[in-house]
Amino acid sequence: MSSQKSMHLCAFLCAGPVSHSHAIWRNPAHETGFLRGDFYVELARTLERGKFDFVFLADRLAIADQYGNSSETGLRYGDQDATRLDPIPILGLMAAATKHLGLGATRSTTYGTPYSLAREMATLDHISGGRAAWNVVTSMNDSEAMNYSAARHLKHDERYDRADEFMEVTFKLWDSWEPDALVLDRANGIYADPTKVHYVNHVGKNFQVRGPLNIPSSPQQRPVIIQAGSSGRGKRFAARWSEVIFALQPTMARMKDFRNSIRAELADAGRPEDASKVLMAIMPFVGTSRSEAEEKRDLHDSLVVPQVGLSTLAAHSNSDFSSLALDATVSEIESTGSQGNMAALRSIAPGGSLTIAEAGRVYGSGVMCPRSVGTAKDVAEHLLSIIDDDAADGFVLSPAFLPDSFQDFVEHVVPILQKSGRLRREYGTETLRGRLAGHA
């Protein structure tokens, strides 16, 4: 391995028609099998062949119906929330089809419960031999709230306060079995040592949980913790709990600012500045020539229906801005949903002057995800320049087409990264946490 920093790779997926790209399912070359199990099995095998650290499945808990106070636009054109299969069963399939690939999923601390979450992640960690990861989200909008017996979404910072307690409880539950509590002495019929299994008796503002967990300690003891909030409160939460931080920053300058702000937050939290790996979202378009790559990008963008981007933007901002004219600007959108995404959106044009119409296209074509367009060598060099400029520890690769984008990347870009010594050629025997903490 080169002495230069190597990179971590994660594959971003939504188990539905779109991911960040809202054109994935419209690929003229072939259908996208997002409702089929074998589709995800094949994707997992491709990513493991490419020696990715892990695959990640994003999630949300409602269809989008903020834009125009209706689900019509999102359902008609297929927005990010039109369909989302539950990530955990899919990761179970992927676990069975692979040996090393890490397996990450989103779960909400606002609409989940600590005991159920602790069980899901401990199970996934056991059945995968220590490869589970959890993207901790506080969810985005009222539509999700209304599916969980609430009239409105919690206020922004209140969501994170609840999330802090949620983390405290789940950590107690994962620690409720000591690592050697399980005995499995078949000859003498001793299953476990009861003195090493403990009640947690948590009584807090939001949760009362007695425990213990009904699952022994898993290979990683707890899943790798991921976080993706980029607001001030979101970053403080990430600095306290996360081992991986996903970020979506449209420019190199914002990537670097974000990275440095995380370092400062980690220091404030009393943790080493590299205690959490920052992975930047990026959408690659790989061609045998630069012009072929540009053709792929242009084909992709020609399939984007701008209104569908507005439907997802309304879901992310938890606001109906459909009364704003298309030439109004994004700075007029009031968001009670994601603060980080809105800040990034306002940064795209000076003074937040991006128009609503432009925002629809930006969101529809990739939710502000920066792109890397060119030959495999161009893309490899571009990614390495971001690492070498200290703007990230790795990437959340967001596909334009599936499985094409990952197949192209694994077949053409990965060998170049491996040859340069900046990406592993083989997995070790470590858990996902071991891999992320160690030499990549």
**Contact stretch for ligand FMN (CB under 6 A) within 33-41, 230-238, 263-271, 294-302:** 230-238
How far is residue 37 CA from its own chain's centroid? 20
Kind of pairing between the strands at 132-137 and 224-227:
parallel
| Interface with ligand FMN in residues 79-108 (CB under 6 A) | 106
Kind of pairing between the strands at 182-185 and 132-137:
unpaired
Instruction: Identify the residue among 13, 15, 47, 58 touching ligand FMN (CB under 6 A).
Output: 58
d(C-alpha 165, C-alpha 119), whole Å: 17
Instruction: Identify the residue among 13, 90, 122, 248 touching ligand FMN (CB under 6 A).
Output: 248
Kind of pairing between the strands at 190-192 and 182-185:
antiparallel
24 belongs to the binding site for ligand FMN (CB under 6 A)? no
CB of 217 to ligand FMN, least distance (A): 27
CB of 207 to ligand FMN, least distance (A): 20
Instruction: Identify the residue among 63, 88, 94, 228 touching ligand FMN (CB under 6 A).
Output: 228
Q: Which is closer to ligand FMN, CB of 156 or CB of 222?
A: 156
CB of 428 to ligand FMN, least distance (A): 26
339 belongs to the binding site for ligand FMN (CB under 6 A)? yes
**Contact stretch for ligand FMN (CB under 6 A) within 89-97, 204-212, 225-233, 407-415:** 225-233
Q: Which is closer to ligand FMN, CB of 220 or CB of 227?
A: 227
Sign of CA dihedral 248, 253, 256, 261: negative
Read off the amino acid at residue 71: S
Instruction: Identify the residue among 8, 51, 60, 422 touching ligand FMN (CB under 6 A).
Output: 60
Burial (CB count <10 Å: 0-12, 13-18, 19+), residue 429: exposed
Read off the amino acid at residue 294: E
* Binding flags for ligand FMN, 137-176, as an x/- string (CB under 6 A): x-xx---------------x--------------------
281 belongs to the binding site for ligand FMN (CB under 6 A)? yes
CB of 177 to ligand FMN, least distance (A): 29
d(C-alpha 84, C-alpha 374), whole Å: 31
CA distances from 330 to 90, 320, 354, 415 (A): 36, 12, 6, 41
d(C-alpha 428, C-alpha 1), whole Å: 13
Return the structure tokens found at 20: 């960040």
Return the structure tokens found at 389: 């400029």
Q: Which is closer to ligand FMN, CB of 13 or CB of 303?
A: 13
Helix (H) or strand (E) holding 161: helix 156-174
Using CB under 6 A as the criterion, which residues of the chain lie in contact with ligand FMN when the complex forms?
12, 58-60, 106, 135, 137, 139-140, 156, 228-231, 234, 246-248, 281, 338-341, 396
